[in-house]
Amino acid sequence: MNIVAVATSDYIGALLLIAMLVSSRIRRADDEHPEVRLFSVITILTLIACIVDYLTFYVDGKPGILMKIINMFGNTYCFIANPVFIASWCVYADLRLYHSRSRIRKYYRFAMIPAEIMVIIAILNNFIPLIYYIDKQNIYHRLPLSYVYYMVDAGYLILSVFIIKGYERRYGKVRFFPMYLMVLPVVLGCAFQAVFYGVSLIWVSLAVGLTSMYMALQNEFSYLDRLTGLYNRAYFDYQLDAAIKDPGSKTGAIMIDVDYFKQINDTYGHSTGDEALIDVARVIRLSKPDKVVATRFAGDEFILLAKNTSDREMNAIIDSIREEVNMFNETENRQYKLSLSLGYAIYDPGKDTVDDFLKRMDDNMYDEKNQKHAKR
Per residue in 239-280, pLDDT (tens digit) is: 898 888 877 778 999 999 999 888 888 888 888 899 999 999
Give the Cα separation of 74 and 57 in Å (integer). Answer: 9
pLDDT average, residue stretch 46-68: 92
> What CATH number does the domain located at 3-223 have?
1.20.1070
One-letter amino acid of 368: E
Residue 166 CA: distances (Å) to CA of 209, 257, 293: 21, 31, 21
pLDDT at residue 199 tops 80: no
Burial state string for 120-153 with b = 16 or more CB within 10 A and e = fewer than 16: ebbeebeeeebbbebeeebebeeeeebebbbebb
At 314, the pLDDT band (50, 70, 90 cuts) reads very high
Segments in the chain forming alpha helices (H): 3-21, 24-29, 34-59, 65-98, 101-111, 113-124, 147-171, 179-195, 202-223, 233-244, 261-268, 270-287, 311-331, 354-375
At 171, the pLDDT band (50, 70, 90 cuts) reads low
Percent of the chain with pLDDT over 70: 93
Q: What's the mean pLDDT when you consider all of the chain?
A: 86
Residue 255, SS3?
strand
DSSP per residue, 53-109: HHHHHHHTT--SHHHHHHHHHHHHHHHHHHHHHHHHHHHHHHHHHH--HHHHHHHHH
User: What pLDDT is stored for residue 29 in this prediction?
Assistant: 46
User: What pLDDT is stored for residue 9 in this prediction?
Assistant: 86
Q: Do 3-223 and 233-375 come out as alike in CATH topology? A: no
Domain 233-375 has CATH 1.10.10.10: no
**In the chain, where the domains are located:** 3-223, 233-375
Residue scoring higher pLDDT (238 or 172): 238
Give the Cα separation of 138 and 135 in Å (integer). Answer: 5
Lowest mean pLDDT among 32-36, 227-231, 233-237: 32-36
Residue scoring higher pLDDT (29 or 295): 295
Among 192-206, 209-223, 230-244, top mean pLDDT goes to: 230-244
